[in-house]
Amino acid sequence: MMSSLLKVVPVSAAVLGTGGFFYKTFSSTLKADEGTNEEVQNLFGRKSRVAVIGGGIGGASTCYFLRKLHGDSIDIDVYEKDDRLGGRLSTLDVNEQTVECGGTYILKGHRYMVQFAKDTDSETNDVLNDAKMRVWNGESLINLPSSMWWVDLVKTTWRYGPLNLWRLDNTIDFVDKSFKRIYNLQEEGVSFETVPEMLSAMDETQQLFEFTQKSFQQVMREKNIHDSVTNELINPIIRWNLGQDADDVNGLVGFLIAGGGKDGPVWNFKDGNNQVCQKLFQSSKAEVRYHSHVKSIDKLVTNQSSEGSGNQRVQYRLLGENTDAGRSYDVVIVATPLEIPSCYVDCDSCQEWPSLSDLGQYQKRLTNFVESELNTESYNVAPDTQETPDVILTTKADKTNYDTVIRLYQTNGQKTLPAVHKVFSRESLTEEQIKFIFGDKVKDYKVVSWLACPRYTAEEKFISFRLDDGVFHVNAIERMKVGVEFSAIGARNVALLASKYLKESCSKL
């Protein structure tokens, strides 16, 4: 069965496996941190039970952090609607080469991902670090320096002016330093019910939040940074990451993307990023239930004492396909984007539950996998030379229908040979476009369609991390920024919220 986030269009070999409904229990290797909340152990005469909906990196990180907080004093069940783990992390075979199909690049500054690699003894690949990047404006390639990150573009000061680059660097630095406070806050056990609260704690001047209420282009103009910097340096990276442009995404997500330059170099997990999900579920001793599509949550509230002293017991049941409605939970963690209709989970018995029509949307992105060399003639560069780009970014001025062309690495860390390129586009590529980018020698061509990331807006609206008393939503973080590290930050936040809630529930008994 294929993930509904993942729709393969005319693809022959993108089979992600089939199989029946089954449980898997993994052996434990994770130990609780010091200060384990032992008191949650005997909630209502049994271990506290947590249900996690979603087997992607958000769900896997939640299990990891919950197990670290509570050791063996809680039971964790994971409900995954597909027959595989990883969600938006998956691999694809293009002829005999296996490449990342969804989430691909991780940065050295992504502290939780680095920690997961270490804790799960995972091997990693260094990728893309010697990549030659060029920006195509529809007429010519703008000759960027060899490194992929904007920081190195200081060498092109002559083009953009030192003052513009200095102002850009200052703002990126401010956003980056403010954002990184989240790691210390989480280490201290601080949790947040909403993204705006999280942003306030990172930056008491409230600028981060203000950036979420204006377009990136507007913030750049208010900072007196010339439009050429927005259009030629940052917008191409925004198009690559989000499939959107600087005038229709908010300022914060734009600066967080631009700030990636401070977090390089780039790496990923050997044999596929989805491997780490499997390992994290395994080490946190979660019971994974495949083919379990949760459609709704049922809240049950009962009074605990006959005198009606007001102590209430709140339990949740999960309803849907293969969900074991007889099993009740103290806490439910939704680790999938509620905003995607095929993932949406309802709760009639919860107050103030978000309805699908009130939520934002996700951005359709087509990933076109093409086994072919580039048609260097189209881009006016000599083939197989220092000039041949590994990554072609595009500007909005280029009226063509693609955002980025990238020469891929295999999941074993080797560069694809023969070359396999990934083209990100918003609509299907025409034959003419394929011919322009690759010429006549395309050997294999596969397309995978994703609802990949939130469709950001210039005035961002946020969904809460807390959906009900004991129900928490990891993917609320995605409105700050999409990405594997952000899913892990969202996961640690909801693990802390859930832990606090469990402790409070116990103390009331």
Ligand X SMILES: Cc1cc2nc3c(=O)[nH]c(=O)nc-3n(C[C@H](O)[C@H](O)[C@H](O)COP(=O)(O)OP(=O)(O)OC[C@H]3O[C@@H](n4cnc5c(N)ncnc54)[C@H](O)[C@@H]3O)c2cc1C
Number of residues that bind ligand X (CB under 6 A): 36
- Which is closer to ligand X, CB of 333 or CB of 482? 482
Site for ligand X contains 57 (CB under 6 A): yes
Residue 50 · residue 331 · CB < 8 Å: yes
CA distances from 399 to 310, 394, 395 (A): 64, 9, 8
Interface with ligand X (CB under 6 A), residue from 381, 483, 494, 499: 483
- Which is closer to ligand X, CB of 7 or CB of 167? 7
- Which is closer to ligand X, CB of 109 or CB of 196? 109
Segment contacting ligand X by CB under 6 A, of 65-73, 97-105, 128-136, 428-436: 97-105
Q: Which two tokens stand for residue 365?
A: 């992105």
What amino acid is encoded at 24 in this protein? K
Separation CA 231–CA 236 (nearest Å):
7
Min dist. Cβ of residue 369 to ligand X (A): 11
How crowded is residue 283: how many other Cβ atoms within 10 Å of its Cβ?
22
- Which is closer to ligand X, CB of 214 or CB of 365? 365
- Which is closer to ligand X, CB of 381 or CB of 423? 423
Which alpha helices (H) appear in 128-245, and where do they start and end?
Answer: 157-160, 162-187, 195-202, 207-211, 216-222, 227-229, 235-242
Site for ligand X contains 88 (CB under 6 A): yes
Min dist. Cβ of residue 50 to ligand X (A): 15
Segment contacting ligand X by CB under 6 A, of 35-43, 73-81, 216-224, 454-462: 73-81
Min dist. Cβ of residue 344 to ligand X (A): 7
Burial of 413 (0-12, 13-18, 19+ CB in 10 A): middle
Residue 18's H or E segment, with its range, is none
Residue 364's H or E segment, with its range, is strand 362-371
Which positions from 399 to 438 touch ligand X by CB under 6 A, shown as an x/- string?
----------------------------------------
Per CB under 6 A, which of residues 283..322 are in contact with ligand X? 292-294
Residue 151 · residue 129 · CB < 8 Å: no
- Which is closer to ligand X, CB of 52 or CB of 172? 52
Per CB under 6 A, which of residues 437..456 are in contact with ligand X? 450, 452
Separation CA 322–CA 22 (nearest Å):
10
Site for ligand X contains 3 (CB under 6 A): yes
Q: Which of 257, 256, 246, 267 is nearest to 177 (CA)?
A: 256
Interface with ligand X (CB under 6 A), residue from 186, 230, 282, 367: 367
How crowded is residue 372: how many other Cβ atoms within 10 Å of its Cβ?
19
Which positions from 12 to 31 touch ligand X by CB under 6 A, shown as an x/- string?
--------------------
Site for ligand X contains 80 (CB under 6 A): yes
Per CB under 6 A, which of residues 330..359 are in contact with ligand X? 335-336, 343, 345
Residue 181's H or E segment, with its range, is helix 162-187
- Which is closer to ligand X, CB of 56 or CB of 254? 56
- The 8-class DSSP code of residue 200 comes to H
Site for ligand X contains 102 (CB under 6 A): yes
Interface with ligand X (CB under 6 A), residue from 16, 43, 55, 502: 55
70 backbone dihedrals φ, ψ, rounded to 5°? -120, 0
Site for ligand X contains 365 (CB under 6 A): yes
CA distances from 144 to 155, 235, 243, 262, 399 (A): 9, 14, 21, 18, 21
Residue 64 · residue 116 · CB < 8 Å: yes
Segment contacting ligand X by CB under 6 A, of 100-108, 186-194, 389-397, 438-446: 100-108
Site for ligand X contains 482 (CB under 6 A): yes
Min dist. Cβ of residue 142 to ligand X (A): 23
Residue 174 · residue 168 · CB < 8 Å: no
Min dist. Cβ of residue 105 to ligand X (A): 4
Per DSSP, which regions of 36-132 are E strands? 48-53, 74-79, 91-94, 97-100, 106-107, 124-126
- Which is closer to ligand X, CB of 229 or CB of 343? 343
The per-residue DSSP string of 424-471 comes to EESSPPPHHHHHHHHTT---EEEEEEEEEEE---SS-----SEEETTE
Residues near ligand X, by CB under 6 A: 3, 5, 53-59, 79-82, 87-89, 102-105, 292-294, 335-336, 343, 345, 365, 367, 450, 452, 475, 482-484, 487
